[in-house]
Amino acid sequence: MTSVPLLDRLRALDWRLTPQRRVIAEVMGGDHVHLTAEEVLERARQRLPEVSLATVYNTLNELVSMGEVQPVDAGGGPTRYDPNTKDGHHHLVCLVCGDLRDVHPEGLEALELPRSEHFGFRVVNREVLFQGYCSNCGRP
């Protein structure tokens, strides 16, 4: 899926590559990653202790602007950041603990917004959010 690694794509965008940015990008590499800013900080600091939360937010926001990372707000908690922007990726979230998974629902092609409901919008994206209870959080 991810043909060119994130770091290589960033290098190609003549993006000033600092140690902090490198470790943040490394942490954000890979699939099925849905970290919060705090979690990114924690993991980045394991590799490079001198990283600040402000830099994590700055960097994540830039990656979002570049289209390399997608922010996912699913019910209340802090924003999670998803580096998997290439495939049509949707999400399954636990209503209790916020656990988040990438899913690839079937039948998306058939999902259309009737023209009468465009309200003059230019529609550019569809996101499907499945909600439920994960195996830890049981069945309230």
Which spans of this chain sit near its own copies (rule: CB under 8 A)?
71, 73-76, 92, 94-95, 101, 103-108, 110-114, 117-135, 139
Tell whether residue 122 is a contact of DNA (CB under 7 A). Answer: no
Enclosing H/E stretch for 72: strand 70-72
What 2-8 contacts at long range (C-beta under 8 Å, 24+ apart), as own/partner pairs, is 2/30, 2/31, 2/84, 2/86, 5/29, 6/68, 6/83
Q: Which does 72 bind (CB under 5 to 8 A by kind): DNA, its own copies, none?
A: none
**One of 21, 34, 43, 91 touching DNA (CB under 7 A):** 21
Cβ closest to DNA, residue 2 vs residue 55:
55
**One of 5, 8, 18, 132 touching DNA (CB under 7 A):** 18
Give the CA count within 13 Å in the CB-facing half-sphere of 102: 16
